[in-house]
Structure 1
């Protein structure tokens, strides 16, 4: 018998849906692959151009201002040999071409999750195509959320299935994937802290070219003030910020490209020969260890490349590719070309190579533009931080914070006030603590290259398991781009004590927060799964004449997808009353970016018709906006009535009318099961410390569930219970 599997279709059509039967998975602990659902339409070119223009103001500030500090980072002790500049230029050219242009603009952007980017988007793709999630919330019905077609077996498919099977069977592999994702996420947030520091400090220091009397302390305080103002603008949202910043940054790119061309023709056009990669070989032969250490400076020309992917949810693939290829890549490359040409005749100016290479009449306009551009540079990773925190929050890997959707048109444009102020305090703290860009550059380089290598590792797994890429192409990617990144990583790790420890310290703290929250989240879920209420017990409770049925629809919230939480029995023991209609509701975040409204609610009748007890799973993608409680309640009741009619319209019409009456008379009341966690007696010291101290602290300082869901107090009843984990 020929073996077949399923494969995602890029574009959507009703005709291509596979015919599927009706499944019931509420008591099924297993699961299957959960594909994407994405409807694409022909891009409107005017809208695409607007979005590409807007992306310049948000995504590319960091990449665009890297010429301010890259060459001083490559040659911190000065230029030893004139031809070293050719080697450095060749490294910059191939770094920008291989990593920014080829890897990010074309390969990594193809790994988007329904238009969403970032480390968690890669992880969600893997989770959806393999059972690697550490919480068993998969449901058979989730397979109907997307469009699949049959695919005949071949050698690449066989390899993909072997890798998938290996990961699914290994708890260690699943944990490694989760930790890698958390580390990548933590590093990007670390970038969001370091980017504003180094960008603003580098630009403000330029004034010392003409006013050498300014001290480091003065520059430091000016930078801190600018950073404070920058973070106050974030509340206005990506769209307004993008349109405000895009004209400034577009002007910046035009100026650095024009000055680069001017310097190239004026000083040394012969540097174009450095496109030959042999000049890298000559550079390493001549300088040896110094050349290897300079790779830590080369990585600075790539700062902000990860933002192309992390900020994707705010824009679109084509808009990012268009702005990268037509504006950003050529402008930045010309800026480096002009600086290197200038330095071939003025090697002693390397510490201020950007400002020294600017023609005298343009110095002040460029200084003002540089300061403005550096402020904008901070925007790329700040916006990315909001996106990835939103993703990790939805997947149970981050404490509860308020997510505000700032655009009705683009769902991925979000603002998180709590994260904004934490980033602001951290940025100002780093600026005041380090005062100059040397150590910040070392820290920044480590953070950037760590994220890149982790992205490549997940990307290779996607190539094998999802894309089923030809093995020779995977080898080419690993032997060129991935190997180059690992070589740079080895260089920046050498500077660990000279500032490189900072992003690792940030990441260790953030990973501790994320892992602690996810660890207790998983423990509580498994506790509920093991102690869930049986159907017989539920029927016994519902049929008990001593338990009164009161008017209205009772929505009993629980994290448990398969079964009913033990908190329910705890509630009945203390409050012997149930609503006339009961809906056990679980909010489930499917590892995909969006769920269509018509597929969001999944119902099942639990007991016989006269008891009107149902279970509902409400499925959200990680970038779906949660509506207010009133609209949610109305939608839930409408979908419930639709479900009852589909069961048997004639026989169940009376029950539909009952639900309508109960909704009108008693409304919808939310019963929230709030569980406290304590460690079991005899638990290890580490487990007791995590649950009793770190997790408890996180719960106290983060938002409550009712705040996240917008549930009014008059419609809410909380039921508490202690879990021994």
Structure 2
């Protein structure tokens, strides 16, 4: 596994990996950005020059300055992404959970629209040769195959991503240069005046907000630069971005030249996409093939990012526990079956609803603008934590809230044309995350903790009381008590009253998810020597919580050090040094009805109950061996029972 220091090194393999997994989304934007900017408008000089100028300055301010130069500084032990950033700053203020959840949901919603639009844009290039080819069916087949292969892992295919994307960017740069040579004066479009002129004086064109909504599509993959920080490292991302941005700008300039050569015309961009029009006819089929592969790579990166996002959300208690598989030993390689098929169905629905990439453009961009705004808020808190002067943080906030707020307004214009779809998906995801998070807080509010020291003597006596049948040699409870001095009253009730459970040793296991991504630490507290032992695991938010394996490892070390004896106390087994049996008890708190909850809290708890039915059980979520687990359901009473007065009457004798 790469260390934090290794990730900081600038290497050729690191640069290639960066090209392969980070720039897929932003790198396939030239397929559809100019199509969206031009739309149904007649081509004019101000539209072509202003379009390139807006693209260049959006990439510069949004991607280069905000993400590559500033946001990449916010690495959490080498890891990036909105939940890594949240873990860095969450102790600053409780309300930061809101931008973190909103941003996470927006990124997941983006995962449903990116594969359809990128793959459709690539495949629709075939219309140049075959105008009546039904591309929609081809796109659905590619998407279905892409999601089907996720379960087998993508580490082998992933090794080829870097060289393919290097070829892709080089091709775009070369094609752009071929047209720039025909009109070198196009370079003047990099002057911000042309961007300003198009937005302010763009008479005859779409409104400024519609144009901005289209331009924003050029930077939609910027969030991936930060999310994949852990895979590539800051130096590799920054250096590779120089090459990527150069190739992108050259290609956009080349497309602008092609448009300028057709000034005054109104073009059917579905049949004459500027991206494919700047390709020589003999190269077109190779270009479409490479574009399709690049689109699949872009989609793959986003799908993998969605898996990582959900895995982090589960460990931060922001998402119901779901099955997470690890198809290969590669760092960060994981597969979440439920999310995979939700995304798959979502992507196919997008293709069926919108059918053409031109129609999908309206649905694209709105959710990712929200994600970028949330990142801006969290980064400002990170800069505050780094003791950056307040006036610089103020400038950062004002500039980027203004830029992204303007882009948000530009994308809201597209709401009725398709933006409603991703916004609806995002709101649905937000409802799930917020309900799960809030319901846990409501439940924890009513969990009763008691002083464990008060029960030391009785636990010791119960353990030695041979008149009580032995329940297990080693009895393990999962506890949510943060302090060693406390324990849930329900655990004591389970041991002493709900079928008294005699054991040689009682174990309490607590899991604390810490802010660092890959921490694996534990503490052992011998509360009553050889009778009551507490183990506290401190696990990073990217560490798999396989408590069964981790607990066994800790016990083995304690036995090896002579700190605990787990040999069976049964005479017939003990004399042969047979290890005693272990049993886990998981207490499942079921919510009792309460009329004292507000309407909002009751609604949250109703949603939580439904989500709980669909999620993994606690024991499966913690990776416990089910053959050694007992599940005990206990009611969680939220309020004191009402005072009920009953009147006793004499027994009726039945005699008149």
TM-score (norm. length: structure 1): 0.80
Q: Partner of 1:567 in structure 2?
A: 490
Q: 1:658 aligns with which of 560, 565, 571?
A: 565
Q: Deviations over 1:86-115 (max 9, x none)?
A: 111111111112222222223212112112
Q: Partner of 1:242 in structure 2?
A: 158
Q: Which moved more, 1:555-564 or 1:356-365?
A: 555-564
Is residue 402–residue 416 contact of structure 1 (8 Å, CA) maintained in 2?
Answer: yes
Q: Partner of 1:710 in structure 2?
A: 623
Q: 2:74 aligns with which of 79, 94, 111?
A: 111
How far the C-alpha of 1:409 sits from its partner, in A, is 4.8
Distance 2:376 2:456 in 1: 49
Question: In the alignment, is residue 297 of structure 1 matched against residue 218 of structure 2?
Answer: no
Q: 1:539 aligns with which of 446, 457, 469?
A: 457
Is residue 239–residue 407 contact of structure 1 (8 Å, CA) maintained in 2?
Answer: yes
Q: 2:602 aligns with which of 688, 692, 709?
A: 688
Call closer, same or farther: CA 1:324–1:668 in 2, change over 3 Å.
Answer: farther
Is residue 91–residue 280 contact of structure 1 (8 Å, CA) maintained in 2?
Answer: yes
How far the C-alpha of 1:225 sits from its partner, in A, is 0.9
How far the C-alpha of 1:548 sits from its partner, in A, is 5.3
Q: 1:490 aligns with which of 389, 397, 409?
A: 409
Q: Deviations over 1:235-285 (max 9, x none)?
A: 23353232133332222111111101111112x211211222122222223
Call closer, same or farther: CA 1:430–1:409 in 2, change over 3 Å.
Answer: closer
Is residue 587–residue 632 contact of structure 2 (8 Å, CA) maintained in 1?
Answer: yes
Q: Deviations over 1:49-81 (max 9, x none)?
A: 323323322222111110010011112122453
Question: In the alignment, is residue 269 of structure 1 matched against residue 184 of structure 2?
Answer: yes
Q: Partner of 2:572 in structure 1?
A: none
Q: Would you say how many aligned residue pairs link Structure 1 and Structure 2?
A: 617
Q: 1:364 aligns with which of 285, 291, 299?
A: 285
How far the C-alpha of 1:479 sits from its partner, in A, is 4.5
- State the secondary structure of the residue aligned to 2:541: coil
Q: 2:505 aligns with which of 575, 581, 590?
A: 581
Distance 2:321 2:612 in 1: 8
Q: Deviations over 1:661-704 (max 9, x none)?
A: 67952143222122212342343344334324x22221222222
Call closer, same or farther: CA 1:479–1:577 in 2, change over 3 Å.
Answer: closer
Distance 1:259 1:514 in 2: 45
Question: In the alignment, is residue 700 of structure 1 matched against residue 613 of structure 2?
Answer: yes
Question: In the alignment, is residue 674 of structure 1 matched against residue 588 of structure 2?
Answer: yes
Show structure 2 runs of 5+ residues with no match: 570-576, 639-656
Distance 2:7 2:556 in 1: 34
Distance 1:595 1:603 in 2: 17
Q: Which moved more, 1:665-674 or 1:535-544?
A: 535-544
Q: Partner of 1:207 in structure 2?
A: 126
Distance 1:679 1:56 in 2: 54
Q: 2:256 aligns with which of 335, 340, 343?
A: 340
Q: Partner of 1:253 in structure 2?
A: 169
Question: In the alignment, is residue 319 of structure 1 matched against residue 244 of structure 2?
Answer: no
Q: Partner of 1:178 in structure 2?
A: 97
Which entry has the higher C-alpha Rg, 1 or 2? 2
Larger helix proportion of the pair: 1
Q: 2:334 aligns with which of 414, 432, 444?
A: 414
Is residue 304–residue 380 contact of structure 1 (8 Å, CA) maintained in 2?
Answer: no
Query: Aligned ranges for residues 438-477 of structure 1 at < 5 Å?
Result: 438-464=358-384, 466-477=385-396
How far the C-alpha of 1:431 sits from its partner, in A, is 0.8
Is residue 7–residue 231 contact of structure 2 (8 Å, CA) maintained in 1?
Answer: no
Is residue 238–residue 414 contact of structure 1 (8 Å, CA) maintained in 2?
Answer: no
How far the C-alpha of 1:389 sits from its partner, in A, is 0.8
How far the C-alpha of 1:42 sits from its partner, in A, is 5.3
How far the C-alpha of 1:639 sits from its partner, in A, is 4.9
How well do the aligned residues superpose, as a CA RMSD in angstroms?
Answer: 2.5
Q: Partner of 1:10 in structure 2?
A: none
Q: Which moved more, 1:386-395 or 1:562-571?
A: 562-571
How far the C-alpha of 1:228 sits from its partner, in A, is 0.4
Q: 1:195 aligns with which of 114, 137, 153?
A: 114
How far the C-alpha of 1:641 sits from its partner, in A, is 5.5
Is residue 92–residue 298 contact of structure 1 (8 Å, CA) maintained in 2?
Answer: yes
